[in-house]
Amino acid sequence: MPDSQGTTLNPRPASAGAEGASAGAGASSPAVEFRNIDIAYGKFVAVRDFSLSIGKGSFVTLLGPSGCGKTTILRSIAGLVDISAGQIMIGGRRVDDVPIYKRNIGLVFQSYALFPHKSVFDNVAFGLKHRNVAKPEIKRKVGQALDMVRLPGSEKKLPSQLSGGQQQRIALARAIVFEPQVLLLDEPLSALDANMREEMRVEIKKIQKETGITAIFVTHDQEEALSMSDRIVVMNAGSAEQIGTPEEVYERPATAFVADFLGKANMLSGTVSRSDGPTIVTLAGGQTIYVLSPKALPQGSAVTVVVRPQKLSVGRASANRLPGRIVSASYLGGSAIYEVDIGGKANIRANAPIDGRVLREGEAIELGFDPHDCVLLDEAGLRIS
C-alpha cells in the first residue's frame, strides 16, 4: 500500500477477501486487530473484552441493534474514542495512543459530512492537501477517484447540487483518494431511499474489491450485512455473539440472539422425547418433529428448535409437518409471508413461494420442513454442537 503521498490509486486484487476476519494473511500482519479491548464511559462499559483479527483486503461488518457497541468500536479504530484497556493494531503497529491524523484511516459517515461551501473537487482533495501532495498529483488523484465512484466531470459542483446518493459517492471518493490502510463506513446508507441503498451496496462492494482496501462497515441492517460482507461480527451488549461468513451466521446461528436478530427465525420450544436414533422433539403444542442433533441428548432436555421462515414450505411432502391456520398473510410479489397458528404459545412464520394464489387469513395450512434445516439450542440459548 503506498503511503499518503503515493502517486497511484491503482485497482488491485484483494489479498484476503475470502478470509474475512481471519487470524491473518499468511506471514504478514492482519490489517486490523483488536486485542481484548474495553471501552468505558465512567462506570458504564460500552465494549467489553472485544477481540477481532481482520485480514487484509477483506470486508467485515459489525452488525447489531442500537447501543450494542458497534459504532463505538469503529470510532475507536479512527481514534475518535479512547479505549480503557487492550490494544488496537493497524498493519501490525499499535495505534491506540496514536492521534487520528496519523492513523491513515478513511471515514465515510451516515451524514456524508461534506463541506457545503466547498466544491466537489475541494471536498475530495481535502485529505491530499493536508498531506502536502503536489497540485498536479492532487488533480490527477481527484479525477481518478471521481471516475471510480462514477461522477466524472463533477469537480466544480457544490454538494447542494447533488442528490443524496451522489453526495455519498463524493464522501466515498474523499475517503479513498489518499489510499488509506483501512476504510471505515459508519451506517453510510441509512439516509438513502431503498433503491439508492441497493445501488450503493453494489457500488461500495465493487470499489472495495477493485482497490483491495480493507473495509469495516457498521450497520443494523441485516440485508446489507448479508449481501456485502466477507465476515459478519454480530454484536450484542458490547460483545461479539458470533463471527463468521454470512452463510455461517445465518444458517448456523450460535445463540438465540443471533437467530432472532438475523432473519427473525422461528424459535420452537420443546423437550427431547427420543435421541436413540433420530432425535425427536415434542413441541409445546404437542406436535413431534425430527431434528438432527450432533450428540445424544438426555430424554426430557429442554431445547429450542430454530427454523428460518424461508425453510418452511406449504403443502410439500417433508419429514416434518405442522398443520395450522393462517393468522395473517402478506403478499411480496414472488412470495408471501404467512403467520400461522400451530397451537402452543407462539405463532410460526413462513416465507414461501406463491403456488397459484396467496392463501388468506383463516385458511387451513400445512407447513413442512426437513430435519437438516433445523438448528438446536440448549436451555441457555446456545447452539448444541
Name the E strands within the chain. 32-41, 44-54, 59-63, 85-90, 93-94, 105-108, 182-186, 214-219, 231-236, 239-244, 266-274, 279-283, 288-291, 302-307, 313-314, 320-331, 335-341, 348-353, 364-369, 374-377
Alpha-carbon distance 310 to 313, whole Å? 8
Task: Compute the Cα dihedral for 216, 219, 222, 228 and give only its sign.
Answer: negative
Q: Is the pLDDT of residue 356 over 70?
A: yes
Summarize the confidence of residues 257-270 as an average pLDDT. 92
Residue pointed to by grid coordinates 488491485: 12
Answering whether pTM is above 0.85, one says yes
Give the mean pLDDT of the chain.
89
Q: Is the pLDDT of residue 10 over 60?
A: no
For residue 196, name the pLDDT band (cuts at 50, 70, 90).
confident
Of 19-23, 178-182, 228-232, 360-364, the poorest mean pLDDT is in 19-23
For residue 27, name the pLDDT band (cuts at 50, 70, 90).
very low
Which tens digits make up the pLDDT trace of 30-62? 999 999 999 999 999 999 999 999 999 999 999
Q: Which domains does the chain have, with CATH numbers?
A: 32-256 (3.40.50.300), 264-377 (2.40.50.140)
- Provide CB contacts within 8 A for 37, sequence distance 6+: 47, 49, 50, 51, 73, 76, 83, 84, 85, 86, 87, 88, 96
Alpha carbon 378 to chain centroid, angstroms: 25
pLDDT at 100: 87
